[in-house]
Structure 1
Amino acid sequence: MNARSMTVAQMVSTFLEPDAPVQVRAFDGSQFGSSDAPLHLEVKSSRAMYYIAENPNDLGLARAYLQGDLDSPELLPGNPYDVFHKLVALKDYMKKPSKADIAHIAAAVFSHGIHVPDPPEIEGPSLFTRLREGIRPHTRRGDAATVSYHYDQSNDFYRLFLGSSMTYTCAVFDKPDAPLEDAQWHKLNMVLDKMNLKDGDRLLDIGCGWGSMEIAAARRGIHVIGVTLAEEQVEWGQEWIRREGFQDLAEIRLMDYRDVPESNFDGICSIGMMEHVGFKQYPAYFHEMMDKLRPGGILLNHQITRTNSHDGKRAGGFIDRYIFPDGELASPAEIEMTIQDNGFEVITQENLRQHYALTLKHWTENLQDNWETARKMVGEPKARLWGLYMAASRFNFELNTIQIHQFQCIKPNPATGTITYPLRPWWER
């Protein structure tokens, strides 16, 4: 075969059996598969081929999709979840190309010139670029930069899919069809219950987001300090506290948790923040929590986890460039070991994987329902990005590729001996 005359359809046929349940139509007029296939993919531009040739992984595919160079009529606006199922079905029809096949494809692509197209404008810098600019992973400067990158978007945009609770973490559902708002407030109250907090107690909320925990705690008469590194979250949360009239109970600060001067808290919660900490920093993180809690105080640590300890900690290229730069995940066993090695007693560990899949189902459907508003607000590529990220996350939670765990941990109180908390669980799941 003449490499220069190789079509996109011929390239696809190198990787897929002829009866694969997909049709691919390409900009060069070529076509692979049957028109009655359950999945139709459109390669609209040669730029897609260069993206995929440069990064034949999730990053290359994501770039092509975000730019509109790779699309499908089956894709729902803001919610590509159903397409993921159809793509996974192609695994059974995959062929392993030979080295000669790969060489033919590369020759065909680059026979038109070696191009490195610019990535989408919304793409963040690579790890190499961040290091060159002095932004080292999991340092104070690095944490501030990466948290701001993800959260300092548009509060109004986040509200389109998070809903009125503005809670960007896993909800807890009493039943599968429970409303998202009910499930989010249930989660917040469950966390407060697990910490055994009462009227007048003091709570530190690390990575407080837009302030929903501060509102939930203040409604119980709990004094709460929330800290975040995202300026737009602080602005939203402080205004929410003022509207509710909780200024005497609740406070949100633009502050690194390591700089909080207060200590002797009755409870500390960290909900969806540990993904930013970095695995090597876990011991220092839990040591900090130990120092800030009173004896007998409870830490509730809630974070996304790897399913096992054998997988690598760092996220792939797509997540690192677009979602959580420097994000790392560990297994529940590794986390619990670190917690205990720093002196905590783990009371319970709860896996909420199914609940996060349901949460993401609601978020993607909300984005789909508000698609036109989202697209006009932040532009089509960024709106596509959030739909892609949330749908892929839902899919991976359902597949048990990732999980989410709550660790309920107590700081031992030597003065009270073994009886430091009730004999049986005192909260409703």
Structure 2
Amino acid sequence: MTLLDGTSAMSIGQMLDSLLKGGFPIAFTAYDGSSAGPQDSPIKAHLANERGLRYLLTAPGDLGLARAYVMGDLEISGVHPGDPYEAMARIKEHTHFQMPPATDVLRMLRSVGLSNLNPPPVPPQEHLPRWRRLVEGMRHSQARDAEAIHHHYDVSNRFYELVLGPSMTYTCACYPTIDATLEEAQGFKYDLVARKLGLHEGDRLLDVGCGWGGMVRHAARKYGVKALGVTLSQEQAEWAQEAIKREGLDHLAEVRFMDYRDVPEGDFDAISSIGLTEHIGVKNYPAYFSVLRDKLRPGGRLLNHCITRQDNRPKNTGAFIDRYVFPDGELTGVGTIVSAIQDHGLEVRHEENLREHYAMTLRDWCRNLVANWDECVAEVGEGTARVWGLYMAGSRFAFDIDEIELHQVLAVKDHPGGAADFGLRPTWNG
């Protein structure tokens, strides 16, 4: 095809080669018959139609790729859609965009035509963009936090059962051995938290952002603790309450559909926060840790377990994660979290990084998604199932390369005068 200025039009494959430094790392073909990358690669990508091209052109980067993939316009073969880890690892590790010469940019624009610069409707799984959410409500207000949690966690309890397994635990596990099962690792994680908190029979535990009540039920069942969990997901709360009754723990355990800021009780012996801090927002750490401090009795302990960055520069999650997975999510480094805890009346006594454990957890969730793919698709639709495969595989890679980490920080509310009821050495193992 010849353009009006006499130059030849660029194919989609040629455009890709021009934009990527070092070339595309897997085999690529497009609906115009062009190709790029090593065609003998076992993993192949095919751009099936013009709508997919419009997604890529109007949202360059991970968001455009995700839109085209979720809608089925970008087809990936050689990996299962429930676990595209190998494809993502190759693309994320070896693909670097570069600005081509101005003449190539003009040829690209002329070749694709102005009509392809109009964005198609976004996939139904996509949340509002960040700027729209800022216009429509204050970030991290109680109402907006509830909506963000609803978007992510109220997908389908059955879907989560299939992906997370019997523990219904959607946080990083802790593997006692390299060959431990996911269920063993989740049980070990809950027990590690309980031992760090020094739980004993009759203690009162508050678990904020409790999910489906795994920590609440473990503490009640194994330690005889009176445990209260709160979550902003009504589906989680209903599932958890049914599980509590089914296990005969309703005399000790309770899960409420409630914001942690609205819990009326106080003087808890221990508070666990497992996977909530990611939703709080760094600017809200002072209020968050102040609320938790005020809920503890003197000598009470707080265990904060959350995803962190490898440095202490606050950063919003990427466009794909923000629109499809964690609206309003924000991560920072463990140093910022430790400082916030220390600055608001709590003494930090222990910290550890479980980064590799989260990569293994995500590996096992992807395996569950693959094993239960047909039922997951029947439950939530193929687009949503694809979102989850993409998100979990990409997150696993990010943990593998130390782009993100998982830290547990243990703190205590000292008595007046400084007594911490902590002992000379940690009393837990592992």
Which whole-Å CA distance do the structure 1 matches of 2:51 and 2:95 have between them?
25
What letter corresponds to residue 221 of structure 1 in structure 2? G
Which whole-Å CA distance do the structure 1 matches of 2:172 and 2:22 have between them?
41
What letter corresponds to residue 422 of structure 1 in structure 2? G
Selected match of 1:274 from 274, 277, 290: 277
Cα offsets for 1:185-223 (capped at 9, x unmatched): 110011011000100000000000001111101112100
Cα offsets for 1:295-336 (capped at 9, x unmatched): 0000000010010023x4211211111111111011111110
With over 3 angstroms needed to count, the CA separation of the structure-2 counterparts of 1:152 and 1:18, relative to structure 1, is: closer
Selected match of 2:50 from 28, 46, 49: 46
With over 3 angstroms needed to count, the CA separation of the structure-2 counterparts of 1:7 and 1:19, relative to structure 1, is: closer
Which whole-Å CA distance do the structure 2 matches of 1:106 and 1:422 have between them?
68
| Partner SS state of residue 41, structure 1 | strand
Which whole-Å CA distance do the structure 1 matches of 2:153 and 2:33 have between them?
42
1:242 counterpart residue number: 245
1:348 counterpart residue number: 350
| Partner SS state of residue 316, structure 2 | coil
Selected match of 2:377 from 375, 378, 401: 375
User: Do the aligned residues in 2 keep the contact of 1:205 with 1:225 (CA within 8 Å)?
Assistant: yes
Selected match of 1:362 from 361, 364, 368: 364
The offset of 1:346, in angstroms, is: 0.4
The offset of 1:422, in angstroms, is: 1.1
2:101 counterpart residue number: 98
Cα offsets for 1:237-279 (capped at 9, x unmatched): 0000000111110011011101100000000000001111011
1:328 counterpart residue number: 330
Using structure 1 for the length normalisation, give the TM-score.
0.95
Which whole-Å CA distance do the structure 2 matches of 1:254 and 1:19 have between them?
50
The offset of 1:49, in angstroms, is: 1.5
| Partner SS state of residue 65, structure 2 | helix
1:129 counterpart residue number: 132
Using structure 2 for the length normalisation, give the TM-score.
0.95
1:289 counterpart residue number: 292
Say whether residues 1:145 and 2:147 are aligned partners: yes
With over 3 angstroms needed to count, the CA separation of the structure-2 counterparts of 1:298 and 1:364, relative to structure 1, is: same
With over 3 angstroms needed to count, the CA separation of the structure-2 counterparts of 1:21 and 1:406, relative to structure 1, is: closer
Selected match of 1:176 from 161, 178, 182: 178
Which whole-Å CA distance do the structure 1 matches of 2:258 and 2:354 have between them?
29
What letter corresponds to residue 206 of structure 2 in structure 1? L
User: Do the aligned residues in 2 keep the contact of 1:286 with 1:342 (CA within 8 Å)?
Assistant: yes
| Partner SS state of residue 238, structure 1 | helix
Say whether residues 1:61 and 2:65 are aligned partners: yes
User: Do the aligned residues in 2 keep the contact of 1:306 with 1:403 (CA within 8 Å)?
Assistant: yes
Which whole-Å CA distance do the structure 2 matches of 1:96 and 1:131 have between them?
31
User: Do the aligned residues in 1 keep the contact of 2:28 with 2:46 (CA within 8 Å)?
Assistant: yes
Which whole-Å CA distance do the structure 2 matches of 1:328 and 1:114 have between them?
30
**Percentage of pairs with the same residue:** 47
> Structure 2 matches for 1:153-172, cutoff 5 A?
153-172=155-174
User: Do the aligned residues in 2 keep the contact of 1:162 with 1:363 (CA within 8 Å)?
Assistant: yes
Gaps of 5+ in 2: none
The offset of 1:15, in angstroms, is: 2.6
With over 3 angstroms needed to count, the CA separation of the structure-2 counterparts of 1:89 and 1:234, relative to structure 1, is: closer
What letter corresponds to residue 426 of structure 2 in structure 1? P
User: Do the aligned residues in 1 keep the contact of 2:338 with 2:348 (CA within 8 Å)?
Assistant: yes
With over 3 angstroms needed to count, the CA separation of the structure-2 counterparts of 1:89 and 1:244, relative to structure 1, is: closer
Which whole-Å CA distance do the structure 2 matches of 1:18 and 1:164 have between them?
44
2:232 counterpart residue number: 229
| Partner SS state of residue 330, structure 2 | coil
With over 3 angstroms needed to count, the CA separation of the structure-2 counterparts of 1:40 and 1:240, relative to structure 1, is: same
Gaps of 5+ in 1: none
User: Do the aligned residues in 1 keep the contact of 2:24 with 2:36 (CA within 8 Å)?
Assistant: no
1:252 counterpart residue number: 255
User: Do the aligned residues in 1 keep the contact of 2:81 with 2:390 (CA within 8 Å)?
Assistant: no
2:303 counterpart residue number: 300
User: Do the aligned residues in 1 keep the contact of 2:205 with 2:227 (CA within 8 Å)?
Assistant: yes
Selected match of 1:402 from 404, 422, 428: 404
